């Protein structure tokens, strides 16, 4: 399985308490004290020092996305340098150079297009990634710091990605779900719903997709049993934190209880999974 928490490679600047770059990145210039050096962090990134953000000891970040080739680069850097002290050592300032091709994955993760830049997001990292997006990303020290403060205090709602639903999303043997259609469809207690969460870039998913279609076709005659799939990299549902791809879940009829498939991804094993949980949900829902 592909574990997204271990494959989120980005440029992070964490400056150690001694003032030297702990992860080998360029640090904020002239920190006043060792404590400031630990929290006023980088002002630009280098692709040769990619690190895994999610295993960093730091848990809060302001992520600024901007182009080093832009004529506004120096002015934007000045904004970040002015905003960093306003974070009052509550979060790290990280600049993501969107010209580095390795950062496309991170831009996709936050739903950012090149034409959106310069822009910024707030991220909280614990056992999962919680993202916040400003309503209007004004690129000023005050705007950046005020947004970070509001996100840190919980005054903002987390930002969840969603694609537009395909026109025929519910007409296919395997329904195509997005964030906006997921909850109403899956939480319909009249149905036993089997959902395949995938990532387009995952080679395991690319191999498995035909297997999922085959299982859905073989079960097409089953009453109140439906199959669906969702690109979990572009559609985020509160309460559904997908860490590995592919992930297959059953949402049982009657009680919506979740059951995750954890066996070998073969047609035979999947058929056993479907029969076991669709029958269980039918029996449970008909007991008086």
Tell me: the pLDDT tens digits for 204-218? 999 999 999 999 999
Per-residue pLDDT, averaged over 18-38, amounts to 34
Question: Residue 120 has what pLDDT?
Answer: 93
Please check whether residue 197 is in contact with residue 2, taking contact to mean a CB–CB distance below 8 angstroms.
no
Question: Residue 87 has what pLDDT?
Answer: 82
- Of all helices (H) and strands (E), which one includes residue 109? helix 104-109
Question: Residue 271 has what pLDDT?
Answer: 95
- Of all helices (H) and strands (E), which one includes residue 64? strand 60-66
Neighbours of 234 (CB within 10 A): 16
Per-residue pLDDT, averaged over 98-108, amounts to 84
Strands (E), 138-198: 174-177, 192-198
Residue with tokens 């999947």: 270
Residue with tokens 């997908």: 242
pLDDT at 187 over 80: yes
State the average pLDDT for the chain. 78
C-alpha 88, offset from chain centre? 27
3-class DSSP state of 77: helix
- Of all helices (H) and strands (E), which one includes residue 26? none
Q: What is the pLDDT of residues 129-140, one digit of tens each?
A: 889 999 887 899
| pTM check: above 0.85 | no
Per-residue pLDDT, averaged over 11-19, amounts to 28
Any idea which of 101-105, 238-242, 279-283 has the lowest mean pLDDT? 279-283
d(CA 56, CA 39): 13
d(CA 159, CA 188): 25
User: Which range in 18-27, 32-41, 88-97, 191-200 is most confidently predicted, on average pLDDT?
Assistant: 191-200
- Of all helices (H) and strands (E), which one includes residue 251? strand 247-251
Q: What is the pLDDT of residues 144-165, one digit of tens each?
A: 999 999 998 889 888 888 889 8
Helix-helix angle 73-83:141-152, to 10 degrees: 50
3-class DSSP state of 260: strand
d(CA 161, CA 107): 12
Closest residue by Cα to residue 45 from 81, 10, 89: 10
Question: Residue 57 has what pLDDT?
Answer: 60
Domains and CATH numbers, the chain: 2-152 (3.40.30.10), 174-286 (3.40.30.10)
Per-residue pLDDT, averaged over 257-278, amounts to 94
- Residue 58's pLDDT band (cuts 50, 70, 90): low
Please check whether residue 59 is in contact with residue 91, taking contact to mean a CB–CB distance below 8 angstroms.
no
């Amino acid at each position: 399985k592909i574990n997204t928490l271990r494959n989120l490679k980005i440029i992070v600047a964490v400056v150690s308490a001694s003032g030297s770059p702990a992860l080998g990145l360029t640090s904020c210039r002239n920190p006043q004290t060792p404590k400031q050096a630990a929290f006023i962090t980088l002002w630009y990134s280098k692709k040769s020092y990619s690190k895994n953000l999610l295993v960093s000891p730091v848990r809060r970040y302001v992520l600024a996305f901007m182009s080093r080739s832009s004529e506004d680069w120096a002015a934007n850097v000045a904004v970040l340098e002015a905003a960093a002290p306003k974070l009052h050592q509550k979060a790290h300032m990280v600049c993501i150079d969107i010209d580095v091709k390795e950062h496309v994955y991170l831009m996709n993760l936050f739903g950012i297009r090149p034409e959106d830049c310069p822009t910024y997001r707030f991220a909280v990292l614990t056992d999962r990634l919680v993202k916040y997006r400003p309503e209007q990303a004004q690129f000023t020290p005050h705007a950046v710091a005020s947004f970070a403060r509001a996100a840190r205090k919980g005054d903002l709602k987390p930002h969840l990605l969603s694609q537009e639903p395909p026109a025929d999303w519910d007409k296919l043997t395997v329904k195509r779900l997005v964030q906006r259609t997921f909850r109403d469809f899956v939480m319909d207690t009249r149905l036993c719903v089997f959902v395949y969460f995938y990532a387009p870039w995952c080679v395991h998913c690319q191999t498995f997709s035909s297997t999922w279609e085959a299982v859905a076709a073989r079960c097409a005659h089953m009453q109140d049993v439906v199959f669906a799939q969702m690109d979990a990299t572009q559609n985020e549902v509160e309460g559904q934190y997908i860490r590995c791809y592919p992930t297959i879940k059953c949402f049982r009829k009657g009680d919506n209880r979740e059951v995750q498939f954890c066996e070998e991804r073969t047609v035979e094993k999947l058929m056993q999974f479907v029969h076991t949980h669709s029958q269980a949900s039918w029996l449970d829902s008909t007991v008086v």
